[in-house]
Structure 1
Amino acid sequence: MMVRISEIQIHAEYLERYKEILVEEAEASIRLEAGVIAIFPMYQQEDPTQVRILEMYADRQAYEAHLKTPHFQKYKTTTLPMVKSLRLIDMHAMDAQTMGKMFRKMDGMP
């Protein structure tokens, strides 16, 4: 599995439009791509221009395929001028077994 955290700072004047585009992209990624396990966008309560995205892919191939999709390409090209800074942080899961249990637990939630 490939896990990444994207740290993104958005120019304040673009924040609402950026959030709309990101939510659309995340939904399409989950719906259309079998190898995308999670695209979970969040923003800091104290500073909404500070966006974080938890990204989980089945493997590196799934990530590479994601980058080529029309919905990701639209997100990337449309939001580029909105982004003040971007940092991609690759992560390693410390407890992959519990992670699987978390997703099964969510299946039972309304």
Structure 2
Amino acid sequence: MKFIKSAFTILALIFLTYSCGVQNKMKTTTPRDEMLIRISEIKIEEQYLEEYIKILKYEAEASVRLEPGVISIYPMFQKENPTEIRILEIYADNEAYKAHLETPHFKEYKSSTLNMVESLKLIDMEAIDGETMSKIFKKLE
């Protein structure tokens, strides 16, 4: 009888531990409907292009590495026109975006590239298939 009680107690503890672990994992995933997704369309003055790209690469890498709420800051340029920059920005939610705007690396990027930007357009987007994102962006798991 003692053995059955002990076995039951151990099984109950395993079950509780597993249940808590699953709940914690669920809490750390990003709800797809709360994400802020944006494409930034930026036109850079040609004489500043090399310097701008250097600054942008640093800012994008630091944002993804240092900020848990930044899912993607993925810069790219048009092959035929490299002064036409596009950035895919994905944030866990609006609060993550607001926090991003207050980081030293973003403020440095913004202030040091202000005179390099000819035009800037921010386009808010909505995901068509948010469920597939976790396969692409491992940070969402």
Give the alignment's TM-score, normalised by structure 2: 0.73
Once residues 4 and 19 of structure 1 are traced to their aligned partners in structure 2, the CA distance between those partners, rounded to angstroms, is 19
Give the alignment's TM-score, normalised by structure 1: 0.93
RMSD: 0.6
Once residues 22 and 42 of structure 1 are traced to their aligned partners in structure 2, the CA distance between those partners, rounded to angstroms, is 10
Q: Which runs of 4+ in 1 moved over 2 A?
A: none
For structure 2, which runs of at least 5 residues remain unmatched after alignment? 1-34
- What does 1:39-58 correspond to in 2, within 5 Å? 39-58=73-92
State the structure with bigger RCO (CA 8 A, min sep 6), 1 or 2.
1
- What does 1:1-110 correspond to in 2, within 5 Å? 1-104=35-138
Checking the alignment, whether the CA contact within 8 Å between 2:64 and 2:71 is kept in structure 1 is yes
Checking the alignment, whether the CA contact within 8 Å between 2:71 and 2:137 is kept in structure 1 is no
Once residues 64 and 87 of structure 2 are traced to their aligned partners in structure 1, the CA distance between those partners, rounded to angstroms, is 13
Higher strand share: 1
Residue-by-residue CA offset, 1:34-58 (whole Å, 9 max, x unaligned): 0000000000000000000000000
SS state of the match for residue 54, structure 1? Answer: strand
Higher helix share: 2
Number of equivalenced pairs: 104
Q: Which of these two proteins has the greater Rg computed from alpha carbons? A: 2
Shift of residue 103 of structure 1?
2.4
Once residues 133 and 126 of structure 2 are traced to their aligned partners in structure 1, the CA distance between those partners, rounded to angstroms, is 12
